[in-house]
Amino acid sequence: MKWSQDAAPSRRALLKTGGLFAGTLMIPGAVSAGMRDGRAMRGKPESLLPPDTFHTPRSAAVASVQPVSRSVLAPGVNQRLMQRAMAALDRHGSRIAHRDRIAVADFSAGSSTPRFHLIDLGDGRVTSKLVAHGSGSDPAHTGYVQRFSNGNGSNASCEGAFVTDDYYIGKHGRSQRLIGLDPTNNNALERAIVVHAAWYANPDMIARRGMLGRSQGCFAVGERELAEVFARLGPGRMIYAAKV
């Protein structure tokens, strides 16, 4: 700002301006702090992060992205789905800060099958977890995804590539926001499609019902599995969900 000699700011005005600027720097940079519910707290992610992860702002971009080999062998993962996931990783590389590990949700399989594959792209190691799908994707509760939807209020799972974002505490406890990267899931943030734990995604549901319960479109995992899922993914990595 340029000041004339006759209108130099007073000390009080300078202090006020400085105070406003300092206050601005202290405000977290997010537009959807309460996306899941009014209690979601964006200022808390540090307390939720596993020791080996860190917060990645939504605006983070990768300056130089090298394509990842699509010949990664991931035992137990459908290879056609794996190829599609690797192609998505290359396609969205500038939006994905960390490309060492990914998750692939194979919604061709039923919910009684560990179908949420956490894959180390360096050595091909795979850890597979149970994961629930949305009630809108399986209205008759068959245990299988019948359809996807990106629509608000659909309660359905959506397909495509997501990048993991920050952690918060919501009505399902510790949760992680997801940003949809494709036209088939770009409403994920608005719909509050997140990763969280749920009682209906615990293994004992299979013994009792033969399948997991259903979410409202979120990737719901077992209550004892959430910490490992968070630790293996962390912010800035890709989840790919589809049927093949």
Residue-wise pLDDT for 84-131, tens only, equals: 999 999 999 999 999 999 999 999 999 999 999 999 999 999 999 999
Residue 80 phi/psi, 5-degree rounding, is -65, -40
In this predicted model, what pLDDT tens digit does every residue of 1-38 receive, in sequence order?
A: 434 333 344 434 433 444 433 333 333 333 333 333 43
Distance (Å, rounded) from C-alpha 151 to C-alpha 138?
15
In this predicted model, what pLDDT tens digit does every residue of 142-195 receive, in sequence order?
A: 999 999 999 999 999 999 999 999 999 999 999 999 999 999 999 999 999 999
Place of tokens 């359809």: 147
- Residue 41: pLDDT over 80: no
Q: What is the mean pLDDT of residues 216-222?
A: 98
Distance (Å, rounded) from C-alpha 232 to C-alpha 244?
25
Neighbours of 216 (CB within 10 A): 17
Domain 33-242: CATH architecture, name and number where available = Beta Barrel (2.40)
Token digits of residue 55? 């917060």
Give the Å distances, CA to CA, from 136 to 51, 139, 147, 159.
36, 5, 8, 13
Distance (Å, rounded) from C-alpha 180 to C-alpha 161?
6
Task: Give the model's pLDDT for residue 70.
Answer: 52
Asked which of 43-52, 148-157, 204-213, 227-236 is least confident by mean pLDDT, the reply is 43-52
Question: Rg (Cα) of the chain, in Å, rounded?
Answer: 21
Q: Which residues are paired to 167 by β-bridges? A: 176
Contact 241, 103 (CB under 8 A): no
Q: What is the mean pLDDT of residues 188-208?
A: 97
Task: Give the model's pLDDT for residue 74.
Answer: 86
Task: Give the model's pLDDT for residue 71.
Answer: 59
Q: What is the mean pLDDT of residues 200-206?
A: 98
In this predicted model, what pLDDT tens digit does every residue of 47-94 receive, in sequence order?
A: 344 434 434 445 344 433 444 445 577 889 999 999 999 999 999 999
Distance (Å, rounded) from C-alpha 8 to C-alpha 178?
48
Distance (Å, rounded) from C-alpha 222 to C-alpha 212?
10
Residue 85 phi/psi, 5-degree rounding, is -65, -40
Contact 148, 182 (CB under 8 A): no
Nearest to 131 by CA among 241, 50, 209, 231: 241
